[in-house]
Structure 1
Amino acid sequence: MSNVLQDEVVGSDLRPTTQARNVERNSSLVFALFGGLLLVVALILPFALAERELSGKLSVLQVILWLGFAGAWVYQGFLLGKSGVGFGPEDPYKEKDRGQLGEIVFYLLGFGPVCFAYIYVTHLNTGYFGFNYVLLFIVAGFATLIFNLGTAILYLVYQCAAWVVLAYFMWGGWWEVVDSVTMFSGYLFSAMMFYIFRRERRSRARAFALSSKLDEANERLRATYRQAEELAATQERNRIAREIHDTIGHSLTVVNMQIETARALMEKDSSKASEFLEKAQEVTKKGLSDIRSSVASLRSSPLDGRTLADTVEELLETNQSGGLETRFELRGDPEKLPTAKEAALYRSAQEALTNVRKHAEAKSVGLELSYANEGKVTLSVADDGKGCSEVAGGFGIMGIRERIQLLDGTVTFSTSPGEGFRLSVSIPR
């Protein structure tokens, strides 16, 4: 599963943000080519199709106005980027308050008037008008991109009025109503096309932004899944390690003690030695059974359907060897606990008794299982061995802590040199 997720992550090289950059770059390139071609045609055609003899001064003025119009064109492209029409890879969708004073002044006193002046001077110098009519539509359309809808409509009204006045000077009379309506319809159509373009760009930018957020959320989800998978694997490895330690380790420890006792009694009391060897053999068989059970199903319960009290008492009896006295005390009314909790208590008792056999040098050990405290179950294992000044915290002790803490329980130790060792485990019911 993790391999599939990693393949998906590696395979998704093209992120929405990258797509937004690519689209923005391509759109900007198209606009630049379109604008450059339009400006070049607007400069060349009037000279190429001049209907009257050119004037040197007017030609110079015509080129100067064209340069001013080209500069204003570039600047309005900058305004487009600020207006939120572009995708903006770092901030794919950001609505901006359009119609600010500086932009309004630029269109009223800059872009629009320079366009009108260029058209007028070009007509005076060359008698040509034709293609330059398109420039008026473009200016009106770009105003729709820069301003909000209300301000754009006011600008269209202004441009229509300015054009009617300009046409009066160019042709020496007022336009017919039909011509004015036709011109205004052309402006309106151009503005609508640019407005639709603006809405489409905004919608696509929002889609890119949502897609980018979704992709980031999916990536975080994949990372969380991988972490959870690694954590689960670690917990399972620790559980298996505890199972091996608690089953094989305990069985081998008991067998070793039984055999050592049998060897010590072999010459003095052969019948007693045989009893210890038989017990060692029984423990060995049980250990093999535990190993087979663990291999068959690592989640199998060590209690095998029996009560916790019976299983713990039997475990205590198997540790009787070499003169070690054992005693078992059950307090309160036993009740059935979840399998995980009973297994944790059993393994804790098993590990505690193994430590008594290996390290305590004790003469007696007592095990108490208490249901007397409301809301919790307590297991205590105490010996009268040599004790210690501090708990070393080997793998067995660490395993007990891990098991009990996973169940929100507590583990306490009580020991001192010469005073024995007491382990207490408590878990909520």
Structure 2
Amino acid sequence: MSSMRPLPWVSPVLYVTVLAAGLYAGTAGLGTTHAAPFTGGLAALFAIDLLERRRYPAGTPPWPAVASLCARVALFAVVAAADGSGLSRALFVLVPFTACFAFGRTVAVVLAAGCAGLVVAGYELGPGRWYTDAEQVSDLLMFCVGLVLAVATAAAAAQERRGRTRLEESHRRLAAYSAQVAELSAAAERNRVARDIHDDLGHHLTAVVVLLEKATAFRERDPGQAQRAIDDAHRSARRALDDVRHSVRTLRADPAPFRLSTALADLVDGQADDGRTAVTLEFTGDESGYGPPALTTLYRAAQEGITNARRHADADRVRVAVALGETEARLTVADDGAGFPPGREGFGLLGMRERAEQVGGRVELDSGPGAGTRLTVTVPRGGTP
């Protein structure tokens, strides 16, 4: 794990300040400055900073950070020993400052105490009793203040960077979650459109196919009957087109309230076109308290059940019964057709089960070869997706 990069301008500013003070002290005779180790040490510090930033742009790993910190401390000592102005001691405030970014605040505080101890030890090794010299005591206090400010500044900057990093990570996660939600929403919408196409267009096209088959069968024997079947097929195709236009308008504007009783009555009335399958409707109960998703689920199930009975089961009679109770609504579509063996369910039944599950309902199917088919869909009162 890499550490954070310290503020890039702090070290160069301090290096330039120390360089200017040391050269001025040497030229003005205010102290003895050894130019070669002094300027060479500062140049080496500049080089370490530059190489580290290029090698580790995001942050130096722990062990390289330890090595570079030790190299800096050694160079600080060299520069301080060669500086006649005495200002180079300020370089040591960079030790806890840099360590705070690389290793945390606790390590920085320990190193700051160590730097203060080294300065005190240097005074103790010097001549005289330094603690009686107001200038040396003032220098020590200012150095300690500099250490405290360095640690505080580094800790605040590191915390701000960590907060910014967490915020950026949260933004990345939010963007990823948004992309996932958009993808799931698109998939759900595709499934919904697929179910609607199957239920609406599939139903009408089935009627058209049945009527055209009837027209073909009666073309030679009864041309009038064949023509009536063609006319009925034309009307079914027009209804399919009207449904498509209605669906487009619904997507562009707020739809009118859905009434299950009206929709089922229209659906059953439209089955008289083929003249072959008799469809009856029994409707009891109150629709209030049932949400549009639940009522639409029942309507789509009736539509699919009638379509399957006419197209696949070759049924003569289909009975549609709806009972809206206090706690749940039940739809039953029963036919006297050929039936089918268990396990043979197509896309229509799959979509029906998906719709029912979305509103907390269930689908039951009872069928067998030659025994007709009984479809039962139950949804709870107030069912919503």
Same fold judged by TM-score > 0.5?
yes
Q: Counterpart amino acid of 2:236?
A: V
Aligned to 1:395: 347
Following superposition, which runs of at least 4 residues in structure 1 exceed 4 angstroms of deviation? 25-34, 87-91, 132-162, 265-278, 299-302
Aligned to 1:225: 178
**CA–CA distance in 2 between the matches of 1:305 and 1:143?**
71
Paired residue secondary structure (2:331): strand
Matches within 5 A, 1:237-386: 237-265=190-218, 276-298=229-251, 305=257, 307-320=259-272, 321-335=274-288, 337-372=290-325, 374-386=326-338
2:332–2:377 Cα contact (<8 Å) kept: yes
How far residue 396 of structure 1 moved from its aligned partner, in angstroms, is 1.5
Paired residue secondary structure (1:234): helix
The 1:141–1:421 alpha-carbon spacing in structure 2 relative to 1, beyond 3 Å, is closer
Aligned to 2:358: 406
- The alignment yields a C-alpha RMSD, in angstroms, of 4.7
1:240–1:298 Cα contact (<8 Å) kept: no
1:293–1:300 Cα contact (<8 Å) kept: no
How far residue 409 of structure 1 moved from its aligned partner, in angstroms, is 1.8
2:94–2:150 Cα contact (<8 Å) kept: no
**CA–CA distance in 2 between the matches of 1:311 and 1:361?**
24
Q: Deviations over 1:137-162 (max 9, x none)?
A: 65688589987879967985895486
Could you tell me which runs of 5 or more consecutive residues in structure 1 were left unpaired when the two chains were aligned: 1-16, 51-65, 78-86, 92-110, 120-128, 169-173
Q: Deviations over 1:385-410 (max 9, x none)?
A: 12111243322222212222222221
Aligned to 1:425: 377
- The two structures have a TM-score, normalised by structure 2, of 0.69
Deviates most, 153-162 or 384-393:
153-162
1:24 correspondence with 2:15: no
Aligned partner of 1:167 among 127, 130, 146: 127
**CA–CA distance in 1 between the matches of 2:368 and 2:233?**
32
Matches within 5 A, 1:193-232: 193-232=146-185
**CA–CA distance in 1 between the matches of 2:252 and 2:289?**
19
1:144–1:191 Cα contact (<8 Å) kept: no
**CA–CA distance in 1 between the matches of 2:160 and 2:258?**
61
**CA–CA distance in 1 between the matches of 2:93 and 2:190?**
71
**CA–CA distance in 1 between the matches of 2:123 and 2:254?**
92
Instruction: Give aligned-pair identity as a percent.
Output: 27
1:255–1:284 Cα contact (<8 Å) kept: yes
Q: Deviations over 1:281-321 (max 9, x none)?
A: 3322221211222233347899x656312321331232243
**CA–CA distance in 2 between the matches of 1:256 and 1:218?**
54
2:96–2:150 Cα contact (<8 Å) kept: no
Aligned partner of 2:140 among 168, 179, 187: 187
Q: Deviations over 1:36-94 (max 9, x none)?
A: 989x99xx99xxx98xxxxxxxxxxxxxxx9xxx9xxx9xx9xxxxxxxxx96789xxx
**CA–CA distance in 1 between the matches of 2:301 and 2:197?**
14
The 1:175–1:28 alpha-carbon spacing in structure 2 relative to 1, beyond 3 Å, is closer
Q: Deviations over 1:153-211 (max 9, x none)?
A: 7985895486256313xxxxx5694xx11101011112212321221111111111111
How far residue 132 of structure 1 moved from its aligned partner, in angstroms, is 7.6
**CA–CA distance in 2 between the matches of 1:285 and 1:130?**
98
Aligned partner of 2:188 among 235, 253, 261: 235
1:141–1:195 Cα contact (<8 Å) kept: no
Q: Counterpart amino acid of 2:341?
A: S
1:379–1:426 Cα contact (<8 Å) kept: yes
Q: Deviations over 1:207-243 (max 9, x none)?
A: 1111111111111111111111122122222222222
